[in-house]
Amino acid sequence: MSKLKVLITREQLAEKAKEMAAQISKDYEGKELLLVGVLKGGFMFLADLVRYLTIDVNIDFISCSSYGNSTVSSGVVRILKDIDYDITGKHVLIVEDLIDTGLTLTYLKDLFAAKCCASVKVCAAMDKPSRRKVALEADYQGIVIPDQFVVGYGLDYAEKYRNLPDVCVVEEI
Ligand code: IMP
Ligand code: MG
């Protein structure tokens, strides 16, 4: 059994989701907004975020994985499931669990921008700015965390722990 230490509580995560939803609701009032959740990790944050929105939105998902080993992002992103919507002229907000090197979101932003959407912005529940390999900033920045490998709230270690309601550091595997 692995030993887990809570880093961010469910209450802190809920508070941040509420705060971000209020800002998003204000910024996109009267606009056609499509939220694109990044699977698998983004599912829990997206589910929390949309419940606090006060505007109408469409929801879609994209699933991608980066080549290379599981803890280091290579920057080459492979799309496993693309979005279903035609995003031409739409405002797109990508919803991610965590920004690490920034490589995945840089790739996804470019991919959507090339499809002529009205705008493409990024919202992430957590951020590790010290790990960036490319200059990528969240338009809606989540909780800033140190350079530690975390699990829970959608994030996994070898496909385990995604269901944990708090974000934890794995102290022993
Ligand atoms: P990137 O390095 O910014 O491209 O991050 C890609 C993805 O790797 C993130 O969206 C997470 O899904 C995953 N990831 C990055 N850091 C961690 C971590 O500490 N635990 C679990 N997954 C992570
Ligand atoms: Mg992710």
> Rounded to the nearest whole angstrom, what is the distance from the C-alpha of residue 17 to the centroid of ligand 2?
16
Cβ < 6 A, ligand 1 pocket: 41, 73, 96-104, 149-151, 155
**Tens place of pLDDT per residue across the chain (173 aa):** 679 999 999 999 999 999 999 999 999 999 999 999 999 999 999 999 999 999 999 999 999 987 655 555 566 788 999 999 899 999 999 999 999 999 999 999 999 999 988 999 999 999 999 999 999 999 999 999 999 999 999 999 999 999 999 999 998 76
- 149 Cα: distance to centroid of ligand 1 (angstroms): 9
Centre a 10 Å sphere on the Cβ of residue 43 and count the other Cβ atoms it contains.
17
- What Å distances lie between residue 36 and 63, 87, 173, CA to CA? 10, 10, 32
Angstrom distance (rounded) from CA 129 to CA 99:
8
Structure tokens at 132: 């960036």
- Say what the pLDDT of residue 46 is: 98
Pick the atom of ligand 1 nearest to 124's CA: 10
162: left (phi over 0), alpha (psi -120 to 50) or beta: alpha
Which pLDDT value is given to residue 116? Answer: 83
100 is an active site residue: yes
- Res 65: pLDDT: 84
Residue 104 Cα to ligand 2 midpoint, Å, equals: 8
Looking at residue 75, what is its pLDDT? 65
Among residues 48, 60, 84, 100, the one annotated as catalytic is: 100
Strand pairing of 150-151 and 167-172? antiparallel
Q: What is the DSSP string of the chain?
A: --EEEEEE-HHHHHHHHHHHHHHHHHHTTTS-EEEEEEETTTHHHHHHHHHH--S-EEEEEEEEEESS-SSS--S-EEEEE--SS--TT-EEEEEEEEESSSHHHHHHHHHHHTTT-SEEEEEEEEE-GGG-SS----SB--EE--S--EEBTTB-BTTBSTT-SSEEEEEE-
Name 103's Cβ contacts closer than 8 Å, sequence gap at least 6: 66, 73, 74, 75, 77, 133, 134
For the entire predicted model, the pTM comes to 0.94
Q: What is the pLDDT of residue 57?
A: 97
Task: Quickly tell me which residue has 């496993």 as its tokens.
Answer: 80
Give me the residues paired with residue 94 across strands. 36, 122
